[in-house]
Amino acid sequence: MTVMFKHILVPVDFSPKNRHALDIALKIAESDKSRISLLHVVEIIADTTFEEYREFYAGLEKRAQKKMASLTAFCEAQGVPAADRIAFGNRVQEILSHAAETGVDLIVMSSHKLQIEEPPQDWGTISYKVGILSQCPVLLVK
């Protein structure tokens, strides 16, 4: 059997829905003997700099590190090599940059159901933008 995906990126926000995306990524990684990268992006408040809120962001990073360590350990307990990273900035840009810089073959992320009544609002979601702009395949998990 040919390995389809060697490196899978799972952007994480620590929500239950996101955990389902990680579970799917783990199944793919197990069958393809792949490795997983977990990426958590802390969005920078618009019209501010990182320096202005350094303590605030440091607190968010500390909380995220604990959660990321737990997710990394969970992946490795399933026999899947995993690495984690916390980034600061625009979520879409950071996800796409990380994928390009680390040679990701697949991005697996959670998505929510589009509302027909308000499509313009829903089409601006992070998962939609990543799906459109990514240079590698993107699997959206509902």
- What is the C-alpha to C-alpha distance for residues 5 and 137, in angstroms, rounded to an integer? 10
Domain range summary for the chain, segments of one domain joined by +: 7-141
Q: What's residue 21's pLDDT?
A: 96
Q: What's residue 114's pLDDT?
A: 62
Give mean pLDDT in consecutive 10-residue pieces for the chain, a chain of 142 residues. Answer: 85 92 97 96 87 91 97 98 97 98 97 66 80 96 90
Domain 7-141: assigned CATH number? 3.40.50.620
DSSP conformation letters of 33-60: T-EEEEEEEEPPPTT--TGGGHHHHHHH
Q: C-alpha dihedral over 92, 94, 130, 125, to 10 degrees?
A: -20
DSSP conformation letters of 58-97: HHHHHHHHHHHHHHHHHHHHTT--EEEEEEES-HHHHHHH
Give pTM, 2 decimals: 0.90
Q: Which of 90, 88, 86, 95 is nearest to 130 (CA)?
A: 95
Q: What's residue 49's pLDDT?
A: 80
Q: What's residue 117's pLDDT?
A: 67
